[in-house]
Structure 1
Amino acid sequence: MSQLLTVAKPRRNTELLLLILALSLATMANALVNLNLGRTFDNDFYTQIAILAVLSIGFHIALRIKAKYADPVILPVVVALNGIGLAVIHRLDITSGDTAGQRQWMWTSLAVVAAIAVIWFLRDHRILRRYTYISLLASVVLLVLPLVPGISAGNVNGATVWIAIGPFTFQPGEIAKITLAIFFAGYLSSNRDLILLAGKKIGKLQLPRARDLAPMIVAWLASVGVLVFQRDLGSSILFFGLFMVMIYVATSRISWILIGLALIAVGGVAAYQIFPHVTRRIDVWVNALDPEYIGAAGGSFQVVEGLFGLANGGLIGTGFGQGSPDTVPLANSDMIIASIGEELGLVGLFAVLSLYTLFISRGFRAALGTRDAFGKLLAVGLSFAVALQCFIIIGGVTRLIPLTGLTTPFLAAGGSSLLANWIIVALILKISDAARRPIDVSNTPEPSASGPQEHDTKLEVTKP
């Protein structure tokens, strides 16, 4: 008879209750948009809310069947963020005449279905470790695709990061952040001892052998290529930051952080001197309020208008439909945080940031709880990718750092970003299910690295 070390509770009913609250929040946000802008509750309103409810409950049912011990907080938080984003984009469509909201609903449906498919068909997250080097190859291919003639969408808003397939456009780099995280997690979990013990020692810095680090250098060069050839500063920072955090988590050596900061400093100075688009970004950031930069083509008008919008929102905001966020360029994508800050105020913005903090912390909690090194690194990498993406875009909107072209996860208009981030949610939920699932002492096989059941760290007792 099986003996269990822990008796974890699935807590799916808790998730269902939180999910109802999240759906209520999304419904009220959309209702406020219609009320404040004098629109009726037409069939589109009820249909869209019903679609979001069906998708969310469908995801919840999939978790009950395939991952019943998964974290009960993550799904409701993401549904709340996605619902707020849909309401803000709908509000901006009304005043601008755009149809971004309809596209966002389509991508939301596709993204949630893809995430459900991951939950349903991915039996164990450790299966992904088999595809470590395939993930590296896939990452390189995805990053090169926007440069391939015939499918490249060309230069869009100063960056070449899109491909065009018929009437649709897609950003492969969003999927690349997942495949890179899988590669880093697989490679580091397999070669951690070599990286820790082998190589030269310079002072207190322990360096790995070049041949052990070579695959990671290839991945890093691919991310640098994004900056050079695709002119995408935000994605380049995201990929390099992901690389540095995962190798630090794998080795626990502060020397990697110091090396990373040194590389960032050297690379930043070199990029400022060599690449005009980086120079312009930095100059606009430093001189944002200079009239010369505000009125110039590609200048700081967008940043300054966003700052004025945040200031206009004050503490409690102007209310949905009562502000002028549509005067900011790309208000529904790059600058959606400014739109939220103006109409929901500092209180509403802090609420959104709290949801992000909750999601990221639960991802880290899943990493701490899981019993295999690959799962730990993958959960940390995916959670940190969302955290760094939020920091880069929100820091740019508030002028803490230079503004880049990343999207705000789950909120901003952008189908490829929405698809990638929902897949990240599914992967983290699978890892959290493995972390919280009770340990069966009488039946804990230790298969090889090619098998899905691998445990390569010591067995730990997990808390419910």
Structure 2
Amino acid sequence: MTTVSSYRPNTGRTVELLLLVLVTGIIMLAYANVGLAQTGALPTDMVTYAAGLLGIGLAFHIALRWRAKYADPLLLPIALLLNGLGLVMIHRIDFENTYEGVQAPRQLVWSALSVVFAIVVLVVLRDHRRLRRYTYTFMVGGVVLLLLPLLPFIGDPHYGSRIWIKLGPFSFQPGEIAKILLAVFFAGYLVQKRDVLSLVGRRFLGFPLPRMRDLGPILVAWAFSLAVLVFEKDLGSSLLFFGLFVAMLYVATERVSWIAIGLLMFVGGAYVAWLLFPHLQQRVQLWLDPFATGINQVSMGLMGMASGGLFGTGLGSGHPEITPFAKSDYIVASLAEELGLFGLFAILLMFVLIVERGLRTAIGVRDGFGKLLAAGLAFSVALQVFVVAGGITRVIPLTGLTTPFMSAGGSSLIANWTVIALLLRISDQARRPLAEVDEEEQAAAGAAATQVVKLR
């Protein structure tokens, strides 16, 4: 006999609300610090920014109480804190009136629009398993978005890479949305094929290898990532998409051999691309010796971070504006200069927490598709942060990816807040008591049966 407990666990929504208030206070303290350092007075628009950020957080919080009351209580406050700190740094660089222009007010508007879009996703998508029905539709959508920058008239090349499209006064990076669509496709495909992909073929030096006929999916992903690298000349996006597929393939099959094969294939493809494209050769040269060609973006970022030391120069007291693209590609270096090594570690730790909560959700959710999707979304954040921070600190060659939630620009904000919405939806299912899950499934089955009867 199965006994269903009437116990209802704590949803965590009250803790989430208190954290949102605390996060808003931290952001406003940083905002005030910038104003005092630059002008000697508190910013006149401080109340406006405080109300905007708190309003964003409260709107999402109310939506969670309404539609996903068991969702993870830490994801929203962490994402809002990262978004707010990025906004503070953009506002701080705006004081110098660099060629990038004033962007903080625009960033606040994009933040609000991104959260509204994420709320719509959360409210409309009542069950993440519905996404599996459109597995191949998401594949087509992801491929189309990645190919858009290659089209004439709307493709907008930037510094050797074609990853942007431009429609009138607006520019957009479709690869940010494509990573979500491809993550859904990978999850739907792998949950269907993982039994076949888990089979072991021959062994090499005691290392289990997959069967040759099962190498098709990874070969296709490899070829597609190479196409992105060759035609768009974008090493970062190529690494992100291929790394995402290999990571999800490992989660689905638990075969380390897939990771080894994937790394070898990507290194080989990147080496061939390096031989073919001077743009990539220049980035590799800057990676090996950032001071070989004199003062440049990489060397200026390194000197700025070095001047920050352990504790930083203080918000508003450094010179991050000297480095090109300090608000976008190099916002991590800007924050490291004024917050120091400890501040940079704190920011990276917040990203680690997002990834950890995503992987915890993947472990807790009860369906295979949800496990793979949550793990894939978490890995996408981890890989993107690694590519950005690794490029700035010379762990890997520099790429053109944005820092999630922090870099100036709307496409990155929309994509990453959507990632948070999907993780919250899956975590609600993972943390929901079995009794309520059974009730919902029975109600859905009853509604479907009633519809069938009406059709008859």
TM-score (norm 2): 0.91
| Per-residue deviation, 1:5 | 8.0
Is 1:3 the counterpart of 2:20? The answer is: no
Aligned partners of 2:416, 2:317: CA distance in 1, in Å?
Answer: 30
Deviates more, 1:437-446 or 1:181-190: 437-446
TM-score (norm 1): 0.90
2:241 maps to which of 239, 242, 262? 239
**Amino acid corresponding to residue 135 of structure 2 in structure 1:** T
1:374 maps to which of 369, 372, 378? 369
Equivalent in the alignment of 1:96: 97
Map 1:113-132 → 2, pairs under 5 A: 113-132=116-135
Equivalent in the alignment of 1:298: none
Higher relative contact order (CA 8 A, sep 6+): 1
Paired residues of 1:323 and 1:343 also in contact (CA < 8 A): yes
Equivalent in the alignment of 1:152: 155
Equivalent in the alignment of 1:328: 323
* SS of alignment partner, residue 291 of structure 2: coil
Aligned partners of 1:397, 1:144: CA distance in 2, in Å?
Answer: 27
Paired residues of 1:410 and 1:421 also in contact (CA < 8 A): yes
Deviates more, 1:432-441 or 1:3-12: 3-12
Equivalent in the alignment of 2:420: 425
Equivalent in the alignment of 1:18: 19
2:285 maps to which of 275, 283, 286? 283
- Count of matched residue positions in the alignment of Structure 1 and Structure 2: 440
Paired residues of 1:25 and 1:83 also in contact (CA < 8 A): no
Equivalent in the alignment of 1:30: 31
Aligned partners of 1:207, 1:247: CA distance in 2, in Å?
Answer: 12
Paired residues of 1:140 and 1:222 also in contact (CA < 8 A): no
Equivalent in the alignment of 2:260: 258
Aligned partners of 1:6, 1:260: CA distance in 2, in Å?
Answer: 45
Equivalent in the alignment of 1:138: 141
- 1:163-216 Cα offsets, whole Å, 9 max, x none, are 11121000000001101100000000111112223x853545343564x66566
Aligned partners of 1:6, 1:231: CA distance in 2, in Å?
Answer: 55
| Per-residue deviation, 1:44 | 3.2
Paired residues of 1:89 and 1:332 also in contact (CA < 8 A): yes
Aligned partners of 1:103, 1:219: CA distance in 2, in Å?
Answer: 36
Evaluate the alpha carbon distance shift between residue 220 and residue 262 of structure 1 in structure 2; reply closer, same or farther with a 3 A threshold. Answer: closer
Paired residues of 1:143 and 1:176 also in contact (CA < 8 A): yes
* SS of alignment partner, residue 163 of structure 2: coil
Is 1:338 the counterpart of 2:348? The answer is: no
- 1:15-74 Cα offsets, whole Å, 9 max, x none, are 011111111111111111111111654653322221111111000000011000011011
Is 1:364 the counterpart of 2:365? The answer is: no
* SS of alignment partner, residue 201 of structure 1: strand
Is 1:307 the counterpart of 2:302? The answer is: yes
| Per-residue deviation, 1:131 | 1.0
1:226 maps to which of 202, 217, 228? 228
Aligned partners of 1:433, 1:25: CA distance in 2, in Å?
Answer: 27
Residue identity over aligned pairs, in percent, reads 50
Evaluate the alpha carbon distance shift between residue 93 and residue 2 of structure 1 in structure 2; reply closer, same or farther with a 3 A threshold. Answer: farther
**Amino acid corresponding to residue 154 of structure 2 in structure 1:** I
Aligned partners of 1:232, 1:224: CA distance in 2, in Å?
Answer: 10
Evaluate the alpha carbon distance shift between residue 333 and residue 279 of structure 1 in structure 2; reply closer, same or farther with a 3 A threshold. Answer: same
**Amino acid corresponding to residue 372 of structure 2 in structure 1:** L
Aligned partners of 1:76, 1:53: CA distance in 2, in Å?
Answer: 11
Aligned partners of 2:432, 2:32: CA distance in 1, in Å?
Answer: 39
Equivalent in the alignment of 1:348: 343
Map 1:58-97 → 2, pairs under 5 A: 58-97=59-98
Paired residues of 1:143 and 1:222 also in contact (CA < 8 A): no
Paired residues of 1:5 and 1:439 also in contact (CA < 8 A): no
- 1:231-276 Cα offsets, whole Å, 9 max, x none, are 1111111111101100001000111011112112212321221222
Evaluate the alpha carbon distance shift between residue 337 and residue 71 of structure 1 in structure 2; reply closer, same or farther with a 3 A threshold. Answer: same
* SS of alignment partner, residue 9 of structure 2: coil
- Structure 1: tracts of 5 or more residues without a match: 296-300, 453-464
Aligned partners of 1:350, 1:246: CA distance in 2, in Å?
Answer: 27
Evaluate the alpha carbon distance shift between residue 23 and residue 258 of structure 1 in structure 2; reply closer, same or farther with a 3 A threshold. Answer: same
| Per-residue deviation, 1:130 | 0.7
- Structure 2: tracts of 5 or more residues without a match: 449-456
Aligned partners of 1:5, 1:284: CA distance in 2, in Å?
Answer: 62
